[in-house]
Structure 1
Amino acid sequence: MKPADISTLPKIMVAPNGARRTKNDHPALPMTVHETVEAAKACYSAGATGLHAHVRDSTGTHVLDAHRYLDLLSEMNAAVPQMQVQITTEAVGKYSPGDQRQLVRDVVPKSVSISLQEMLSDGQPDRAHAFYRWAFKAGIAVQHILYSTEDLMRFSEIAIRGDIPGNQHQLLFVLGRYRADQQSVVSDLDPFLEALRSVEGNWAADWACCAFGKRETECLVYAVQNGGKARIGFENGLWNRSGELARDNADRVKDLVSALGD
């Protein structure tokens, strides 16, 4: 079987668990490495070609644990080698930028997502820039998580300077992060699109978006219609476009595939 291509983002990437939700939120939410791999297999069959992966410790708590990530990557390579696997460095308020950088150095994954805000939060941009240059030389595909248009413009400034090297960058626009009810709407994407147009020509963007709540599918269809890609799954939303609770992550992928077909 042909290994996954990391040079571009998959059209549909599934985020099956995230850092915070548990089986109390949905019994089909994967918590262990084995459950995550089984969910990924089902989602691949449903139409997702990428996995955005979080790992948990024995208590179910989100951790940045190199050994657990290496176990997951090994199992995914055996089970679904065609599926791109992207590990996360999400801080959840307890990990420092240094911890995040060390995780990536220890795992050396093919693909990783990193919040620009989090990576620059310690006021040591030179260390962050050195890390980005190292990751580029190591051939690691970094998807930069951007929560606002301010994040996007800041990213563009750094990329133009060359402190985030490369001519094409993988981005994730997070829709509705700062809404009190965490319910994204389609129009949340428009400011990102406008800001992206303003920096076009300085570098190329391979971008996707994620959305929270019951309009997740609608928001992701709008992203694809506007040239983007989609990250879907129980990390952000538990409901299909009908308003009904999804059976599992594969059901969310099927819902999006159906909506894109419509």
Structure 2
Amino acid sequence: MQSQSSDRPVAIAVAPNGGRRSKADHPGLPMTPAELARTAAECLEAGAAMIHLHVRDRDGRHILDSDVYRAATAAIRQTVGNAMVVQITSEALGVYQPGRQMEAVRETRPEAVSLALRELVPDRDAEPVFASFLDWLKRERVLPQIILYDPGEALYLCDLQRRGMIPWDDVPVLFVLGRYTTSQQSAPTDLLPFLSPGIPAFSSFMVCAFGRDEAACVSAGALLGGDVRVGFENNLLLPDGSTAPTNASLVDTVARMLRGFGRPIQTPASLRHAWGMGHR
């Protein structure tokens, strides 16, 4: 686990759209490159160091496509320059198989990518291909963040590392709280199993959560040594139950809470340094 001292900077990532929601869920949900770029600028100003990208096809459906990813990334870079870490998703959403997920990342060659362990390594037969893919990421200086939905996956990731299949001494991870509960309403206590005795400690972990207690959940993660991710992908509500007007309002809410706890907010440059990312 990272240092729990009160002066440890906390990185805020924004996940502004996801692959499931549409403007019918929230009219401010960004879907086009221009909308994503505007959201990136607003969230950067509010305190976000990283944007987690999903992109859509012309019909608004989730897609893993290098051309669309490059268009969205270019729009963001034109708007905010290199002032934000741009992370793409490789999420399947029930549409893609592991081979295509990894191929899309290779074609895009992003700065950073999130990888769901349970999707890309559904069984032990998939381990060699996954290990080869991680080797490619390291050679190309693409930083992965491994998504973990339960503590058992943390144990499995540690086992893969012990067997030499993870080419980083300490890869960043994302703890997802409450994804597979009936209501998908997360609670701060959902974090405790990830930090319990016997579960591997990761020096760089981030927390995301579902529902109106998103801010409380991720703030708990920050106070326990982690970083945070918020946004319309998982939550549309402010802590008082009202609808958040923008993704930036969710970022600002958490940034204010963290500053109130005495936690400084990490800049994109310091996040790149903390994650060992040489800027490309």
**Alignment check: 8 A CA contact 1:44 1:83 kept:** yes
**Alignment check: 8 A CA contact 1:10 1:84 kept:** no
* Corresponding residue for residue 144 of structure 2: 142
Q: C-alpha displacement at 1:198, in angstroms?
A: 4.0
| Residue 127 (structure 1) aligned with residue 139 (structure 2) | no
Q: C-alpha displacement at 1:119, in angstroms?
A: 0.3
Q: Deviations for 1:80-132, whole angstroms, at most 9, x for unmatched residues? A: 12100000000000101000110111111110001000001264221111111
Say if 1:12 and 1:218 are closer, same or farther in 2 by CA, change over 3 A: same
Q: C-alpha displacement at 1:239, in angstroms?
A: 0.7
Identify which of 233, 237, 243 aligns with 1:245: 243
* Corresponding residue for residue 216 of structure 2: 218
* Corresponding residue for residue 55 of structure 2: 55
* Corresponding residue for residue 96 of structure 2: 95
Identify which of 176, 179, 195 aligns with 1:193: 195
Percentage identity across paired residues of the two chains: 39
Structure 1, unaligned stretches of length 5 or more? 1-8
CA distance in 1, matches of 2:162, 2:241: 42
Could you tell me the TM-score, scaled by structure 1's length?
Answer: 0.92
* Corresponding residue for residue 79 of structure 2: 79
* Corresponding residue for residue 3 of structure 1: none
Report the number of matched residues: 250
| Residue 170 (structure 1) aligned with residue 172 (structure 2) | yes
Say if 1:221 and 1:10 are closer, same or farther in 2 by CA, change over 3 A: closer
CA distance in 1, matches of 2:164, 2:51: 29
| Residue 104 (structure 1) aligned with residue 105 (structure 2) | yes
* Corresponding residue for residue 205 of structure 1: 203
Structure 2, unaligned stretches of length 5 or more? 1-8, 261-280
**Alignment check: 8 A CA contact 2:186 2:209 kept:** yes
Q: C-alpha displacement at 1:205, in angstroms?
A: 2.8
CA distance in 2, matches of 1:59, 1:199: 42
* Corresponding residue for residue 29 of structure 1: 29
* Corresponding residue for residue 255 of structure 2: 257
Say if 1:82 and 1:145 are closer, same or farther in 2 by CA, change over 3 A: same
**Alignment check: 8 A CA contact 1:10 1:229 kept:** yes
* Corresponding residue for residue 113 of structure 1: 114
CA distance in 2, matches of 1:159, 1:205: 14
CA distance in 1, matches of 2:31, 2:229: 19
Q: Deviations for 1:180-233, whole angstroms, at most 9, x for unmatched residues? A: 0000000000010115x6434xxx531101000010000011000000000100
RMSD (CA atoms): 1.5
Q: Deviations for 1:109-162, whole angstroms, at most 9, x for unmatched residues? A: 110001000001264221111111111122111000000001110001001212
- The alignment partner of 1:245 has SS state of coil
Q: C-alpha displacement at 1:10, in angstroms?
A: 7.0
| Residue 181 (structure 1) aligned with residue 183 (structure 2) | yes
Q: C-alpha displacement at 1:253, in angstroms?
A: 0.8
CA distance in 2, matches of 1:245, 1:209: 21
Say if 1:56 and 1:10 are closer, same or farther in 2 by CA, change over 3 A: farther
* Corresponding residue for residue 157 of structure 2: 155
Moved more, 113-122 or 212-221: 113-122
Greater relative contact order (Cα < 8 A, sep 6+): 2
